[in-house]
Amino acid sequence: MDRVSKGTTLAAEAFSLHAEEYDRWFDDPRGRMLFDAEVKAIRLLMKGLSPPFLEVGIGPGRFARALGIRYGIDPSTALLEKARKREIKAEKAFGEAIPFPAGIFGGVFILFTLCFVAEPMPVLTEAKRVLKAGGGMILGIINKESRWGKLYLSKKAESHPLYQYANLFRIAEVTEMVRAPGLTIEGYSSTLYNPPDEKLREEVVSKGFVKGAGFVCILAKKS
């Protein structure tokens, strides 16, 4: 626990407190639409990755179940209970101290979690440690420079129960973070182009990094 900052701990406590509300969000019409687009963007980068897979910050297990991820960690007991009900082998832990041996996962997924840790580098370093040689890390990022990023920054400024703890990044910043522990960037995917204040419209999912996309995935490999 001494490797985990106070900011990260406070974020984890907030997600525990609002676990029911957070999980229900995926079932409303907008939540389902956004979730479906994000899953499609992640799947574009999964080809070629071999299980077993681990999700860091698994939350209620929604993404893990949709993507075939069998293992997960999360510091929130309330969210872990939901993930386990979705048949995920989930353990209580922070991303700064992943409780698995080195080199056992073919894929490690960090979906939105990087936005809620005060110091991303220890999490990325740990994720690399548990990756097999040739394995891939997939990060799902809210793009700070998008209209969606501006929405969440406004929520942060208004002390939203969850987003007050969010730290958003430019995609270029995350790319540099991922390269720092020695990972190689292999590709990007993008979605959420429609403004957040518009009526529901189907989202396009694209390969590559598209400027202005609200959600961007990054695939990095361990050599």
Predicted TM-score (pTM) of this structure? 0.95
pLDDT of the residue at 107 = 98
Domain ranges of the chain: 6-221
Nearby residues of 176 by Cβ (< 8 Å), 6 or more positions away: none
> What are the phi and psi torsion angles at 71 (to 5°)?
-120, 145
Q: Does domain 6-221 have CATH number 3.40.50.150?
A: yes
Per-residue pLDDT at 4 exceeds 80: no
75-100 pLDDT, tens digit each: 999 999 999 999 999 999 999 999 99
Mean pLDDT for all residues in the chain:
95
Residues facing 184 on adjacent strands: 221
Per-residue pLDDT at 1 exceeds 50: no
25-39 pLDDT, tens digit each: 999 999 999 999 999
Per-residue pLDDT at 57 exceeds 60: yes
The CA angle 207-211-214, to the nearest 5 degrees, is 85
